Amino acid sequence: MIFQHAYNIEDLRTIARQRLPRIAYDFLEGGAEEGSTLRANRAAFDRIRFVPRTLVDVSRRSQKKAVFGREFDGPFGIAPTGAAGLYCFEADLALARAARRANLPFVLSTASFIEMERVAREGTAGLWFQLYMSKDREAAERLVRRALDSGYEALVLTTDIPVAGNREYNRRNRFEIPFRLDLANMLDGLLHPRWLAGVFFRTLLSSGIPRFQNLDSNVGGRIVSKTLTEFRTRREALNWEDFDWLRRLWPGKLLVKGILTVEDARLAAQHGADGIFVSNHGGRQLDGAPSPIEVLPEIAAAVGDRLPIMADSGFRRGTDIVKALALGADMVFVGRPTLYGAVAGGESGVLRALELLNGEVDRVLALLGATSLDALGPQCVRLDEARPAAVSGRRMDQKQG
């Protein structure tokens, strides 16, 4: 299949599965441990049904969404994904360019293979930088100043990774960064020649062994294992005081990614965050963590009037996005779907993923009898009582009140 014949995100995933060697596909697709949160992220949407209205004139409808003073052409954007360069040549640029063409926000990961300055030169409106911060404030400050100097509009501090999630397949596949191919992986690579030549060797020839370019400018992008180990140890100690320090340092919009409780959402607001990401990291961190859609109503009831709420983890359809907006999210972000697009067709494949989602959101609005995102609210959805409750009626009532 070619990406032009992909009619939904699942089709793009099928292409990605065929084209990628196991080491890259497992890293993209996998969750932590038993994958229970990974599965729950999808299952949670099934428990929510729409309440469609009929005989509403929906001939003029819009999915435009304003966040932080910018108007986007849809209520969703691209979540930060590290090591995206494993999925197409210079993937971070492909993601940024496609986001610019679609007029949607893009969050660049700290763990990208391309320098943040180069990505910023793409001129994407709504370019945000995701920060992995350790206790080492000097290193963090260098990174934050680079983001500021290059014009990133928002900083997204990821907080759900004090330690790495337990992803055994990565160890089994001997996945490591700087990326290297051992014999087994090389043989698998030979079975995927399009990837080996078009992504791996092309990257090797243009910028050397795929590696992180932003973690610390001091080591010129060469992350020696000692630096990485120190970074990880110091990350475990991060707390709200460090967030306060970051708040003082960063004059732009500051968001906390990895919020799953009302208590933490309130703390984020109290500590001066401008927004939050309700996220379980795509099921890649704590196995057994709740899905965003389950906790959104109570978090929206607690802080929705003070902070924009972004949601990610498991969104694959326009219906998923609209359900989250009805339950209190301001915007939704996708991680894997745009990477499937990157594998399938580089920048054009990413754009295809975004266009598919735009098209689906538009259709759902029409079928729901909604002409704009403002019309969405808890009255648009109800729980499917036949299934185990993901969101209690009480929580939805709270939001309505």
Q: Which residues are catalytic?
A: 281
Residue nearest to ligand FMN (CB): 335
3-state class (DSSP) for residue 152: coil
Residue with Cβ nearer ligand FMN (177 or 396): 177
Q: Residue 222: which of 236, 208, 232, 234 has the closest Cα? A: 208
Distance of alpha carbon 241 from alpha carbon 214, whole angstroms:
24
Rounded to a whole number of angstroms, the minimum distance from the CB of residue 55 to ligand FMN is 35
Rounded to a whole number of angstroms, the minimum distance from the CB of residue 177 to ligand FMN is 11
Residue 106 contacts residue 341 (beta carbons within 8 Å): no
Question: Is there a cis peptide before residue 178, judged by omega within 30 degrees of 0?
Answer: yes
Question: End-to-end alpha-carbon separation of the chain, Å?
Answer: 48
3-state class (DSSP) for residue 226: helix
Residue with Cβ nearer ligand FMN (40 or 181): 40
DSSP category for residue 79: P
Residue with Cβ nearer ligand FMN (45 or 315): 315
Distance of alpha carbon 85 from alpha carbon 377, whole angstroms:
38
Residue with Cβ nearer ligand FMN (153 or 382): 153
Listing DSSP states for 363-396 in one string gives HHHHHHT-SSGGG-SGGGEEE-TTS--SS-HHHH
Distance of alpha carbon 167 from alpha carbon 211, whole angstroms:
20
Compute how many other C-beta atoms are within 10 angstroms of the C-beta atom of residue 110: 21
Rounded to a whole number of angstroms, the minimum distance from the CB of residue 331 to ligand FMN is 13
The structure tokens 């360069």 sit at: 85
Rounded to a whole number of angstroms, the minimum distance from the CB of residue 320 to ligand FMN is 10
Listing DSSP states for 315-349 in one string gives --SHHHHHHHHHTT-SEEEESHHHHHHHHHHHHHH
Residue with Cβ nearer ligand FMN (316 or 395): 316
Binding site for ligand FMN (CB under 6 A): 27-28, 79-82, 109, 111, 130, 158, 257, 279, 281-282, 312-315, 334-336
Rounded to a whole number of angstroms, the minimum distance from the CB of residue 394 to ligand FMN is 27
Rounded to a whole number of angstroms, the minimum distance from the CB of residue 193 to ligand FMN is 22
Residue 9, both tokens: 């995100």
Distance of alpha carbon 297 from alpha carbon 396, whole angstroms:
6
Residue with Cβ nearer ligand FMN (214 or 396): 214
DSSP E strands, 73-146: 76-78, 106-108, 127-131
Rounded to a whole number of angstroms, the minimum distance from the CB of residue 283 to ligand FMN is 7
Residue with Cβ nearer ligand FMN (61 or 113): 113
